[in-house]
A and B are shown apart, each in its own frame.
Chain A
Amino acid sequence: MAAAAARASCPACGSSALVEDAHYAQQQLVCAACGCVLAEGLLTTTYAEEEHLREVAYSQSTGQKEQLSRCLQRGIRRVQDLCKVLQLPSVFEETAVSYFQRALQHPSFHLVSLEKKELLGGCCVFVTCRQHNWPLTMGTICSLLYAKKELFASVYLSVQKELELSVPALSLMDLVKTHLNSFRLFQCAADIPAPFVEDKEKMVARTMQIVELASETWLVTGRHPIPIVTAAAFLSWQSLQPAARLTCTFARFCKVAGVDLPPPAHLRLKELHEILLRMASQLTWLRVFKMDKKVAVKHIGDLLQHRIFLLKKSFCVEDAEEQRAGAQGEGSPPAAGGAPQEEVRPSEGKRQRDGERRPLLPPCLIKPKKRLRTAAPSASDLAITGDEPISDSEIEQYLRDQEEIQAFSKAKAWL
């Protein structure tokens, strides 16, 4: 700039009316006559940077970073790293960072421990994914953050409440696809026996159908989704090549596939087997076989194809309560319609056939755990007014007498 200023005339028009002006805070030497820019300055923050000709980042030069506390900066970097690791689209990153900034400014999160602040970042990423229906489970985030699940759960619930975010429910079908991506059965590898390798599309499609079947038969509501998906994947994998795979155990399958076997998955598998057995026993061309789990699994394809019909035949659609009500001829008729009178006869007839059928209910209602049921308030309880006189003897039973006090203090001294 100094060299250009030494020139007294504009190279374009030759006029000597040169003005130093600032264009958007950038110094420029401009010819007043024709507007030609002779020279302009560089945007730098410090003389040192300018000297070393290093490019200065926008965020550093505008002081934007100085406005944010170091904790916030670190947290934002963490959120961005998480998004990169999970390979999320860039839109997610912006949303997650904005949630994180909002959360950290909120009084209830401003002073929590550093550990919690880190979890806060993970929660924001999790919420963003859920809002875009990206199937990310809490387990994944917790393992990435090395966090305890209970702590994550509490932070997540408070974030949801404080920031008033509405988080849609986890989409089970997307979760199936994502979870199956981590199975190592779709390509030949050294440690995977040849008959174990399976085509991904077929397995995903069949697993989704089995998960849908589980959802219709009340096996999914209220339960953790991953064990169900794992059990469904195992069944679909077995059924695609039953000859070679029926002998493989669930644990071995998970080991070969490189996936964790969560403890509830065994129970889910058992429940799925039970449902499939019931359906298979209604399938006429299977009646010739002696019905057991293996036969049911072998014919999963057929069972899924005719599942609507088989479910109707295997399970009573009305629930247990209406069956009992139907016997007394009262109660509103279910979807089947009809007056209470008609209700009595069909339900009686149904009860005779019911030996093989059971109501379609969640497992917790089929096998209720024996629980101490608190008795309904008795008449004497209801008569309490709260202002009854309190007898001295009743209170004195709770007080220690002298010898007891001495004995107790002696015992305590020992401890």
Chain B
Amino acid sequence: MDGASLLERYLERCTGQDDLSTSPQLFTPMSPYDLDLPVQPTPDASFGSQFNQPRELPPDFSCVDLSFLPDISQDDKEQNPSEDGNEMQKELDGSESRNEDSGIFTEESGLSYPDATQPSSETSGVCPPLTPMTPMTPVTPASESSGIVPQLQNIVSTVNLACKLDLKNIALHARNAEYNPKRFAAVIMRIREPRTTALIFSSGKMVCTGAKSEEQSRLAARKYARVVQKLGFPAKFLDFKIQNMVGSCDVRFPIRLEGLVLTHQQFSSYEPELFPGLIYRMVKPRIVLLIFVSGKVVLTGAKERSEIYEAFENIYPILKGFKKAS
């Protein structure tokens, strides 16, 4: 496919960034920018997985977050080639071969991939804009992926039993229930397998916590619904939804939290007077990470497992960068 070969050439150019002098001919055909974006055909799948946004991509990418890329839209096609031609000539002539591929793209849009959306792009190495586009041919070498998988520790889910419940009755007839209306307006019920706790409210809504996987959470919620059914209420199982997932892992080296809060100030909150860990609010995906000096990381706020894995893969290069510096 033409799009793929254009993309490959583009990739080669990025990896051979330092050898500008040896391969000037790669730059002369301005065609990559004339034709349909190399962006378009390939990353349909990759964008879908990277961004938690509508799965089908509109051709103009207006709702996908491509703020790190310059405006290579249909309109700019004409102006781009000439400007890029100048830029690339400058690249060839100039001695400065900038680490980031942005050199070729720098135009009036001024390259600033907003730190807020791509915190890892600064550290990921040669061609940051490419990382989300081409997961199958990563520019950064594969050995840099962490090899550590966060383990899920807690899943919180809710379900609607769709019937009014008599909590006093439930507390009387069920062994595993506790109900103290003065303290809290719900029955606290526990089951042994999977080991979970549920809060059952009189409106029929229920919160299930403590499971270690999504399937376990669903099974546990169904068991609670069965208990309520057996107690004589017409309980149903509607709108089961995972509300929060918590994972944790260990990077196995100590981390200088004071340094991290200096370089990532917009995302980090480190108050040793209040809490020994650093609270990192990642924007994409929207996850809160608690980072401790021992190297243990807790990730929370996810609605899906992939968000936790993605957040950890984003934070690992940042933390690794700190290890070498200390």
Taking Cβ atoms with an 8 Å cutoff, the residues of A that contact B are 137-139, 153, 156-157, 160, 166-170, 215, 218, 220-225, 319, 321, 335, 361-362, 364-365, 374, 376-377, 381-382, 384-388, 390, 394-400, 404-405, 408-409
Residue of A nearest to B296 (CB): A364
Report Cα–Cα, A413/B307, bound state, in Å: 51
Residue of B nearest to A130 (CB): B271
Chain A residues within 8 Å of B194, by CB: 384
Q: Which of B190-210 contact A (CB under 8 A)?
A: 191, 193-194
A139 near B174 (CB under 8 angstroms)?
no
Chain A residues within 8 Å of B270, by CB: 169
Report Cα–Cα, A201/B107, bound state, in Å: 54
B153 to chain A, nearest CB (A): 7
**With an 8 A cutoff between CB atoms, is B82 at the interface?**
no
**With an 8 A cutoff between CB atoms, is B303 at the interface?**
no
Report Cα–Cα, A389/B193, bound state, in Å: 13
Report Cα–Cα, A398/B265, bound state, in Å: 51
**With an 8 A cutoff between CB atoms, is B215 at the interface?**
yes
Residue of B nearest to A321 (CB): B252
A268 to chain B, nearest CB (A): 13
**With an 8 A cutoff between CB atoms, is B293 at the interface?**
yes
Chain B residues within 8 Å of A138, by CB: 271, 273-274
B215 near A385 (CB under 8 angstroms)?
yes
> A361 and B254 in contact (CB under 8 A), knowing A137-B273, A223-B272, A384-B215?
yes
The total of Cβ contacts below 8 Å across the A-B interface reads 118
Chain A residues within 8 Å of B191, by CB: 398
Which of A139, A215, A398 is the one whose CB lies under 8 Å from B175? A398
Chain B residues within 8 Å of A319, by CB: 253-254
Chain B residues within 8 Å of A361, by CB: 254
Chain B residues within 8 Å of A137, by CB: 273
Interface centre among A224, A225, A386, A397 (most CB of B within 10 A): A386
**With an 8 A cutoff between CB atoms, is B305 at the interface?**
no
A386 near B293 (CB under 8 angstroms)?
no
Chain B residues within 8 Å of A223, by CB: 272, 276
**With an 8 A cutoff between CB atoms, is B55 at the interface?**
no
B269 near A167 (CB under 8 angstroms)?
yes
Chain A residues within 8 Å of B293, by CB: 218, 221-222, 362, 364
Residue of B nearest to A335 (CB): B324
B179 to chain A, nearest CB (A): 11
> A381 and B257 in contact (CB under 8 A), knowing A160-B269, A224-B272?
no
Chain B residues within 8 Å of A399, by CB: 173-175, 227, 230-231
B227 near A395 (CB under 8 angstroms)?
yes
Interface centre among B172, B258, B293, B295 (most CB of A within 10 A): B293
Taking Cβ atoms with an 8 Å cutoff, the residues of B that contact A are 151, 153, 172-176, 191, 193-194, 212-219, 222-223, 226-227, 230-231, 252-258, 261-262, 265-266, 269-274, 276-277, 292-295, 324
Closest CB pairs A-B (n = 3): A386-B218, A386-B215, A222-B276
Which of A365, A377, A408 is the one whose CB lies under 8 Å from B212? A377
> A222 and B292 in contact (CB under 8 A), knowing A169-B270, A394-B223?
yes
Chain B residues within 8 Å of A222, by CB: 257, 272, 276-277, 292-293
Report Cα–Cα, A248/B192, bound state, in Å: 57
B175 near A388 (CB under 8 angstroms)?
no
Which of B175, B223, B261, B276 is the one whose CB lies under 8 Å from A169? B261
A-B contact pairs, 20 of them (CB 8 A): A157-B269, A166-B266, A169-B258, A169-B261, A169-B262, A221-B257, A221-B293, A321-B252, A335-B324, A364-B294, A365-B254, A374-B151, A381-B213, A386-B215, A394-B223, A395-B227, A397-B175, A399-B175, A399-B227, A405-B173
B266 near A386 (CB under 8 angstroms)?
no
Chain B residues within 8 Å of A387, by CB: 218-219
Residue of B nearest to A153 (CB): B274
B227 near A398 (CB under 8 angstroms)?
yes
B226 near A395 (CB under 8 angstroms)?
yes
Known: A222-B292, A387-B218, A399-B230. 15 other contacts (CB 8 A): A138-B273, A166-B265, A168-B265, A224-B273, A365-B294, A374-B153, A374-B212, A381-B216, A384-B219, A390-B226, A395-B230, A398-B174, A400-B174, A404-B175, A408-B172
Chain A residues within 8 Å of B257, by CB: 221-222
A376 near B253 (CB under 8 angstroms)?
no
B110 to chain A, nearest CB (A): 22
A289 to chain B, nearest CB (A): 32
